[in-house]
Chains A and B, each alone.
Chain A
């Protein structure tokens, strides 16, 4: 597993990083997004959705209450958020694992409880906001070699495009 650390200085940059990532995601990928409240996970997913070709008229908003939102795209996108799920029992109860399908890309906010159930984690991202500045976020990517090219294309210069 390799690591790559990248800084974002605006929501637009974080979305753009998501957009860049989307090009390297494949059907069946299940990507956990770690990070505290307000660290930019949903913002990142908005960029992935854009990159996958989700129509501009479709709003990608937070699934914290709905638990799951689904978007039609070049590869269908599931956006899951387990913020409200407090136990393994509750997780079982909402039958999410049945939804995580081979033909979709699944991005999961607040993924702690589901991690033991994932067969593989080709890529995970940790969003860090140290609150020294209002808009700076650090994104830590951890991935297998499949994402070497992504790591090369993620530079702090490009994130502003």
Chain B
């Protein structure tokens, strides 16, 4: 079965065609490649209007790259929650219209579940009980997948997300956006550092995180040590974040007696983090799945892949499917 996936929940707009849940035939992310855009002019960097401009060209390009036509497509999977209203609505409306037009089943997808699924694009068998660490600009969560396929959130950040901490610290150190890759590079370049920033909540006996204190620890340190190189501070910061993430993830695996781990989301493309998780997994004999950097950031391949399994289990959506946004009540 071949699924078209559409993802536009936040800043990125993407379409992808995936066969049998794990063969990515094409993946297109707006702005990352050249393709024909129908409309000109300046558009905002964030959200809705940009998506409106990109969505159809991105979908068309995903067909071109895959060599598929509409008659090859068995279903359309689309992220419909959570996210920004204006952004979600663009992707969902396109998906619903195309599903109606081409008489294909529609499959509504939860963005976080899709991120976790991206481990299956890196070789994990769908349905494997495991722990997933979802780390991105907006999320830092530990999820437990049980043998029935149910998802339990066992921990999350109490304040700033890990990716948010990377961006804010990069800004504090005088670097641009996005901060993740910049800090990663600085940390790689910097020799070993003696600076030790706090490891927030590392031994809190739960699976929650807190990163807002790191941001202030670094501001304070910088104010009082103005001559320390930014790269050294970046390295010390990255060490702190990684150690907390690795330690708490290991605690979760131990507590739930699991030996399979997925590390997903935009921050999972951080080289230092990948390395640390590989070392930890080798040491503790764990099976680790980390998607390639392109599949770590928001993308539609994870949506299409998950859509395949939903369709296989007849979990399709009606054409009346609506969005659930960040402005909906948190629970």
Contacts and interface: CB of A to CB of B under 8 A. Distances in A.
Interface of A: 37-38, 42-43, 58-59, 61-72, 76, 78, 84-87, 89-90, 93-95, 99, 129, 131, 134
Interface centre among B50, B86, B156, B171 (most CB of A within 10 A): B86
A95 B85 contact: yes
B46 A94 contact: yes
A49 B172 CA distance: 28
A69 B137 contact: no
B210 to A, nearest CB: 9
Given A37-B168, A131-B220, 16 more contacts: A59-B330, A61-B159, A61-B161, A62-B164, A65-B137, A67-B84, A69-B330, A70-B329, A70-B330, A93-B50, A93-B86, A94-B84, A95-B48, A95-B86, A129-B216, A131-B223
22 contacts: A37-B171, A38-B215, A38-B216, A58-B330, A59-B158, A62-B159, A62-B212, A64-B160, A65-B138, A66-B326, A67-B326, A71-B330, A89-B44, A90-B47, A93-B49, A94-B47, A94-B84, A94-B86, A99-B327, A129-B216, A129-B219, A131-B223
Interface residues of B, number: 39
B163 interface: yes
A66 B171 contact: no
B45 A59 contact: no
A93 B10 CA distance: 12
Contact of B326 (A69, A84, A87, A90): A69
Interface of B: 10, 44-50, 82, 84-86, 136-138, 156-161, 163-164, 168, 171-172, 208, 212, 215-216, 219-220, 223, 326-331
B331 A58 contact: yes
Given A61-B160, A62-B161, A131-B219, A86 B45 contact: yes
A70 B156 contact: no
Contact of A61 (B47, B49, B157, B168): B157
A58 to B, nearest CB: 6
A24 to B, nearest CB: 23
Contacts of A71: 329-330
Interface centre among B84, B86, B158, B330 (most CB of A within 10 A): B330
A84 B46 contact: yes
Contacts of A85: 46
Contacts of A62: 159-161, 164, 212
A5 to B, nearest CB: 21
A17 B216 CA distance: 20
B215 A37 contact: yes
Nearest to B331: A58
Contacts of A70: 326-330
B200 to A, nearest CB: 12
A67 B171 CA distance: 18
A43 B210 CA distance: 12
B330 A93 contact: no
A126 B47 CA distance: 29
Contacts of A76: 329
Contacts of B215: 37-38
A90 B46 contact: yes
A37 B330 contact: no
Contacts of A43: 159, 212
7 closest A-B pairs by beta carbon, nearest first, are: A65-B138, A38-B216, A90-B44, A65-B137, A66-B326, A131-B223, A72-B329
Nearest to B85: A95
A27 to B, nearest CB: 16
Contacts of B47: 90, 93-94
Contacts of B223: 131
Nearest to B217: A134
Contacts of B84: 66-68, 94
Interface centre among A38, A87, A99 (most CB of B within 10 A): A38
A62 B215 CA distance: 13
Contacts of B85: 95
A60 B128 CA distance: 31
A61 B209 CA distance: 11
A38 B327 contact: no
Contact of A134 (B138, B160, B220): B220
Contacts of B160: 42, 61-62, 64
Given A66-B138, A93-B86, A95-B86, A78 B46 contact: no
Contacts of A94: 46-48, 84, 86
Nearest to A78: B327
A4 B107 CA distance: 54
